[in-house]
Amino acid sequence: MKKLITLIFLAIFPFTCGFMNIAHRGDNEQGKYAEHSFAAYDRAVCAQVDYLELDLQESADHVLVVSHDNNLSRVFGVDQSIEENTFKKLTNYLNQSEESIHSLEEVFQRYQNNPQVKFMLEPKGNGEDAKRIVKLVNKYHLQKRVLFESFSDSTLSKLARLAPEIPRTQLAGSYKAIGRSQDFAANYLRDKNKKYMLWGVNSSKQMYKFLNPDKGVTGLLT
């Protein structure tokens, strides 16, 4: 299995309720809409996914924005660094969905009155934005509608201190991060009573394969 995996390191976790479907950067309909656009998020919400997965970057004036990349070049077609520009300047550029980059607060505002919409948040920094993230979550009373994920142990530790009630997810680049093979990793996690998800599972064939309970997969990010 070459795709990336997510390891769940919390004993009590919403995934105990059943299999989860997380919209990775929204549902862009295979490139028809821009990732992290309201168009992509709205499509995912209409499809009744369990979570919207949001990557977080920080602008020069410390506004949290939703973007996987730290530069606008791939999605917006302009070579502009997010961390070197103010949020106001960043909003001058439009993506293929004719939308500017969105702040995390704008996303929360859009969906705050829809209790079915939940968020998986991935800060891309080293945890320096943890306080601002938790402050926004608290401001919109979304503590029970948010999960945190990160490759960074230090980021997860900071989030744990600031918001211990919110579940946290440790990201890993491959099965080799915890074992010699896919089977070793699956058995290890099962023995430790830990849950895990796969992301990048984008074909029906892959989905049916991993929906098999024997695989031990708890959810898919697609």
* Domain hosting residue 216, numbered range: 5-221
pTM to 2 decimal places: 0.80
For residue range 31-58, what is the model confidence (pLDDT) as tens digits? 889 999 999 999 999 999 999 999 999 9
**Angular region, 41: left φ>0, alpha ψ -120 to 50, beta rest:** alpha
Say which CATH number the domain at 177 has: 3.20.20.190
Tally of domains in the chain: 1
Q: In terms of Cα–Cα distance, which of 102, 104, 101 is closest to 140? A: 104
For residue range 92-126, what is the model confidence (pLDDT) as tens digits? 999 999 999 999 999 999 999 999 999 999 999 88
- Report the alpha-carbon distance of residue 109 to residue 152 in Å, rounded: 27
